[in-house]
Amino acid sequence: MDEELKPESEVDARPSGMSFLRSNGLIIGLLLISLFLNVVPGIRLILLPFEFFTTFIHEGSHAIASLIMGEQVHRIVINPDTSGYMQHTVSGGMFAQGFIGSAGYIGAALFGGALIVLSSFEKISKIVLGLLGLIFLSAIILYIRDLFTLAVCGFLSASLLLIAWKGGRYLNFFAINFLAVQCSLNSFGDVITLLQLSMGAPKSQYSAGLSDAESLSKVLFLPAMFWSVLWIVIAVVILYKAVKISGRIRMKNEASRQ
């Protein structure tokens, strides 16, 4: 009896490891470039705007969580050393404070993961960049009160809107992929820094209070180290899932072009 042939679509649905790596080639390449730039002292300054971007996403996640819990957000601050904080009213109970405190690192990881997935769709790169620019512009109007944060958010908003408006198809696609890699790397790096702080590393000179993990330990009675490790695990899972989803989408896109 002749061996039954599988439909071509079924064969394509089970890609090899090499095809997965090839489809994620842009993300992997940008990741390696970013890691290289991070260890070169002078060139590392090129990546500073992306660190400010991730700080804004972190503090913005706190702000969104605060609004969900019925609190009022007073302002979002980004410091020159890329740290930051968000000021809000505190009227909720233990759950509300725990939710708000956890939102920064988890929110940044979720945002980075979402960008990785969205960066798989070349046709919507322009829209995503434009929306991000408008988000920064809205934050300037609603929650930015100091000159440095205004300058940072103004620069990021103008850059994103300019690339979305004037950038061509390939520039927009490259920009959203690079931004996705940077946001994901920085969100993971930030939670590693938090773990170091929980182990006694010196705080930023701009730090005016407790870290998120320390604040949560006072509310939910588990040590700061626990929350730091938990957020690292969550960040790893989110980014792993995002890369897998992105890889499948990119492989489908590649197959449709063949």
Rounded distance between C-alpha atoms, residue 200 and residue 214, angstroms: 11
Calpha distance 241→226 (Å, rounded): 23
The pLDDT, as a whole number, for residue 208 is: 63
Predicted local distance difference test score (pLDDT) of residue 251: 83
Going from N- to C-terminal start, the domains of the chain cover 48-252
pLDDT in tens, 36-72: 888 887 777 889 999 999 999 999 999 999 999 999 9
Could you list the mean pLDDT of each consecutive 10-residue stretch along the chain, which spans 258 residues?
Answer: 46 52 76 84 85 96 96 95 92 88 94 94 94 97 96 97 94 94 92 87 75 89 92 93 89 76
Q: What is the pLDDT of residue 43?
A: 77
pTM value is 0.88
pLDDT in tens, 202-234: 777 777 678 899 989 988 888 999 999 999 999
Question: In the prediction, which pLDDT does 12 show?
Answer: 46
At 34 the pLDDT is 86
Residue found under tokens 């109007």: 141
- The angle formed by the CA atoms of residues 124, 130 and 133, to the nearest 5 degrees, is 145
Q: Are 133 and 161 a contacting pair, CB within 8 Å? A: yes
Q: Per-residue DSSP letters for 234-246?
A: HHHHHHHHHHHHH
Q: Is 4 helix (H, G, I), strand (E, B) or coil?
A: coil
Residues 117 and 43 sit within 8 Å (Cβ to Cβ) = no
Interatomic CA distance for residues 138 and 77, integer angstroms: 14
